[in-house]
Structure 1
Amino acid sequence: MSAPDRQSSFGIFQALRIRQHLVVMAIAFAAFALQAWLFQHRLDAPVPPILTDFNDYHVVGRMVAAGRAIETYDWPTLKLEQIVQTRNWSFMPWAYPPPFTMLVGLLGLLPIWAAYLLFMAVTWLLFYAAMVRLAGRATIPALFVILPSLIINGKGGQAGFLSAAFIGWFLVFLRERSAKAGWPLGAMIFKPHLAAGIGLLALIERRWGAMVRAVVLIAASFAVATLVLGVEIWPAFQKGTSTASEYLWTGFYPLERMLTVFAALHRFGVPAVAAMVVHLTCAAALVLAVALAWWRKARTETVFALTVCVCLMTSPYTYDYDGVALGLAYAMVLPRFVARAGRYELPIAVLLSWIATSNYLWSGLRQYWYGVPIITHEMQLWTISPIALAALGALVIVVLRRPARPDAPWLRAYSWMAGRKPG
């Protein structure tokens, strides 16, 4: 290629790098606007809607706004309220901590379309900004690798963007050695079961300033929630979480939509106790991997990627929409992986990621196959997400041990998607 041609090519890549984030934003907000309309349309339609997570958020929010926050933690009462407000119900007990319940009450002040649009826009922007700040040009390729989770989270209106945003901002501030990492760490109180990895990293790096800030934020949020919702909210929350734990052990939750070792083994017929023992053993191995990587002074990107895996795989209660956070891990290793991967290895890696995070799609296909209106826990559908994730992890380890190749087969495609000149 001649010098003028190279300069022209470089200009195209520069223009792409400037514009591609706007394109992604336009697609995302168009999808959110369509889904907001669908939420409202389905509520107004003659046929009762099939409820998703944001329907539950809005029902709970309206109960909180009406001064009935304590009742949200009682599943029979919440089920009845779902029927009253939507003419239908779906098994979605409420077990979020009171600070998040209080914030959801603000969504209940809006019609469902506006509440959904506000919630998704804010959480998406927080997540996307964290990805760009943390991963730079690897952001869009990494988002492509977790595309099923993005779609599932957006369709259901879940909080996967928010939890991934807090994990991402923690890693951003930790990399900058800023005590501000404590704020997103403390904010993870809304989903504390996904905070194990970043809490571990703060501890082994002895970021005392960050941990103090996290404790201050948690204490303040608890105090405000108590002031707004009343002291009685805490016994109700404790009862609700205990009930939710019982439902998990007895298989009432949709384990076929979970990413965890516990869910996979339990659905394949392993007793709950044995499945939990294996799950915790695997989680402990991941924790040890983070500690060893840090102690051996591994690359920051490697430590961060393992930390995200600990966040998602420590709890037995991790859904396909929580897989949004995997984008953070992929963004950490994707540039090095692409520079080393063979012709078939990158497509296989993407396929394994899509298989692992497409559980909602697989459930829908099996629902169609069985000819039933809704999947129930009695059907005992399985999940292979941890198998796919384990295979993906093994593939990444093998590929990253090789030297980089300037002629790697997927380097040009990755460079185009990342908005940079290849080579």
Structure 2
Amino acid sequence: MFAETLESVRSQASKRTLYERVVVGALATIFALKIYWFFRWGFRYDQQVPDFAAFHLVAQRIWLGDLDLTYQFAAFMKMQASQPGGATGFMPWTYPPQFDLLLAPLAFLPTWAAYALFTGTTLVAYLMTLRKLAGEHFAQVLVILFPAIAITIGCGQNGFLTGALIGLVCIHAERRQVLAGLALGAMVIKPHLAVAISLYLLANRRWATIAVAAAVVLVSSLVCTLAFGPQTWLAWLGAIKESASLLEQGLYPLFRMISGYAALYNSGVPASGAFWGQATIAGLALAIVVLGIVRAMPSSFTLGIAALVSVMISPYAYDYDLPITGIGLALILPDLPKVASPRERSLMYALLMLAGAYGLLQSTSLASGFDESFKPAIAGAALMVLLAMLLMMMWRNALPATAAEVGAPARVLE
């Protein structure tokens, strides 16, 4: 079966090495081609621009002193349209000021060099973190996550950064709570992706981690206020409100989203119904984490589940956020055969690959200018099915920790 074929990769060191080299080599090739493309033609392709173009534009506006204008959608749209190539696409800016602060140095680099630095650094950090967590399952996770990683390279988004941060939280959650707190606090750049992990830490009374994370958020907020002025926070809050309105009107590219909201809305469910559906999905995702804790399942497995469902909480989640699921998959793979049949594991792997592959197909269609009249949010539907499978699996099976594991660090982190 599909699961057994994928899982056989780890049976021989030579086979694992071969798969790792092939996949990493393919990713490096995609990355190199993107750098060449941006060096040769800049951030445009048939009037479409990658998300990183907005990152670089925001970095430039910081030094021009009008960062708050980037949070005004009409003004930011004009800024993007005025860029070379006259792009017609538009990316609203709703990131917290902390992410602006991170991007600021990129303004001093040419566009292609800024892309290479940001994407290259975060990609390496993500792969190193993933390898640390996955161990002998690294090649298997790479194969399953290949489409999602390729998407993130292509658009230059921050999925590798958030994936690496969540991975660092998982690595240090048991023994080095201060380091885990620093990584968790850094997730302020995309806090909706840290909800499930935060619930796990709270339920397990990791107070030091929570305290350090809160301190990071507070200190970084103060730094941003001093650097950009208090008006930036008001502009950001206004952008959040406007973004919610656009989402309700279906003006985002929902076919690229991976949320239950997108899947429901694109299938004809009214916005209010889709929001309630998303709330239900988020509640079930968090319930799975609590269920793993209540049933005293191994910490690495429950932590992996928390990472896996992180992308299912918010209605605003895209295919480039999928690298986080690789962190969760790496943690649950050692114990997954104990609670899921080969057929169930095959379906789980296929659903994750489908979510990434569909996004890759759609992003390629956008880049080529090919427009389809019917674009369902397949990735969101795939993750809804995956969530149902996880809930059934966790409810049906008990995988209690052994006496040696109780109160001990997660097995894969030792």
For the criterion TM > 0.5, the same-fold answer is yes
Give the TM-score, by structure 2 length: 0.84
Tell me, yes or no, if structure 1 residue 65 matches structure 2 residue 59. no
Moved more, 58-67 or 355-364: 355-364
* Count of residues in Structure 1 that have an aligned counterpart in Structure 2: 387
Partner of 2:407: none
Letter in 2 for 1:106: P
Counterpart code for 2:329:
Y
Provide the C-alpha distance between the structure 2 equivalents of 1:287 and 1:217, rounded to a whole number of angstroms: 24
* CA–CA separation in structure 1 for the residues paired with 2:183 and 2:388: 30
Equivalent-residue separation in structure 1 for 2:365 and 2:229 (angstroms): 44
In 2, the alpha carbon distance for the partners of 1:210 and 1:397 equals 27
Change (3 A) 1:392 1:252: same
SS of the equivalent of 1:294 reads helix
Q: Could you give the per-residue CA deviations for residues 66-96 of structure 1, whole angstroms, max 9, x where no partner exists?
A: 2221111111211111122232131211000
When normalised by structure 1's length, the TM-score is 0.82
Supply the distance in 1 between the matched residues of 2:257 and 2:135 (Cα, whole angstroms): 29
| Letter of the structure 1 residue corresponding to residue 49 of structure 2 | L
CA, structure 1 residues 182+51, in 2 after alignment: closer, same or farther (shift >3 Å)? same
Unaligned 5+ segments in structure 2 are 1-10, 399-414
Any conservation in 1 of the 2:308–2:327 contact (CA below 8 Å)? no
1:196–1:310 CA contact under 8 A, matched in 2: no
- String of CA shifts for 1:340-368, please: whole Å, max 9, x gaps: 87776655443322212233334357769
For the structure 1 residues 351 and 180, does the alpha-carbon distance in structure 2 shift closer, same or farther, using more than 3 Å as the test? Answer: same
Q: Is residue 324 of structure 2 the alignment partner of residue 325 of structure 1?
A: yes
Conservation of the 8 A alpha-carbon contact between 1:349 and 1:392: yes
Q: Report the structure number with the largest CA radius of gyration.
A: 1
Q: After the TM superposition, which residues 18-97 of structure 1 pair with which residues of structure 2 at under 5 Å, given as runs?
A: 25-43=24-42, 49-86=47-84, 87-97=86-96
Q: Check the 8 A contact 1:42/1:49 in 2, yes or no.
A: no
Counterparts of 2:196 and 2:393, CA distance in 1: 24
Instruction: Please name the residue that 2:377 is paired with.
Output: 383
Structure 2 counterparts to residues 221-240 of structure 1, below 5 A: 221-240=220-239
Where in structure 1 are there 5+ consecutive unaligned residues? Answer: 1-11, 404-423
Q: Deviations over 1:27-71 (max 9, x none)?
A: 4333322211212323388x7642111111112222223222111
1:171/1:367 Cα in 2 relative to 1: closer, same or farther (>3 Å)? closer
Amino-acid identity (%): 31
d(CA) in 1 for partners of 2:322 and 2:186? 19
Q: Does the 8 Å contact 2:42/2:111 carry over to 1?
A: no
Q: Deviations over 1:84-118 (max 9, x none)?
A: 22321312110000111122122122111110110
- In 2: Cα distance, 1:331 partner to 1:230 partner: 41
Indicate the SS of the match to 1:382. coil
CA-atom RMSD in angstroms: 3.0
1:19-418 alignment runs, 5 A limit: 25-43=24-42, 49-86=47-84, 87-176=86-175, 178-337=177-336, 347-363=346-362, 381-392=375-386
Query: CA 1:286/1:388 → structure 2, altered by over 3 Å: closer, same or farther?
Result: same
Alpha carbons 1:257, 1:363 under 8 Å: kept: yes
What is the alpha-carbon distance in structure 1 between the residues aligned to residue 139 and residue 43 of structure 2? 36
CA contact (8 A) 1:148 1:358 kept: yes
Q: Secondary structure at the match of 1:219?
A: helix
Q: 1:270 is paired with a residue of what secondary structure?
A: coil
Q: 1:57 to 1:374 in 2, by over 3 A?
A: farther
- Aligned residue for 2:42, secondary structure, equals helix
